[in-house]
Amino acid sequence: MPAHTSRLTPTGSACSGYRNSPPRTGPPRAYYENWHIYLAYALLALIVLHVAAALYHRFIKNDGVLERMIDGKARG
């Protein structure tokens, strides 16, 4: 009987037959969840760094970088 067909058990309930499938291989789910969290924090850190750099150029260096980014005009 193929693994995907349903059949009745002695108690009368249906079972799909997937219980005889081979065990799952590969890293556990927590491994991927941890990497998802690490990458989310890394992305957040890059966003914060980018905003901090823009504010640094605006208020400390006063070199007009933020204004050029907002206007889209090149220095000329």
The answer as to whether 6 is a domain residue is no
Q: Calculate the dihedral angle through the C-alpha atoms of 43, 49, 53, 58, rounding to the nearest 10 degrees.
A: 90
- The answer to whether residue 48 is domain-embedded is yes
For 53-69, write each residue's pLDDT tens digit. Answer: 999 999 999 998 888 88
- pTM as predicted: 0.57
DSSP 8-state secondary structure symbol assigned to residue 12: S
What is the C-alpha end-to-end distance of the chain, expressed in Å?
76
Question: What would the pLDDT profile of 5-50 be if each residue is shown by its tens digit?
Answer: 555 555 555 555 566 777 778 788 888 899 999 999 999 999 999 9
Q: Is 51 helix (H, G, I), strand (E, B) or coil?
A: helix
What the block records as the tokens of 38 is: 């690490």
pLDDT band for 71, please (50, 70, 90 cuts). Answer: confident
Is residue 75 in a domain? yes
The CA-atom distances, in angstroms, between 59 and each of 36, 43, 47, 49, 62 are: 35, 24, 18, 15, 6
pLDDT of residue 11: 57
Report the number of distinct structural domains present in the chain: 1
pLDDT of residue 64: 87
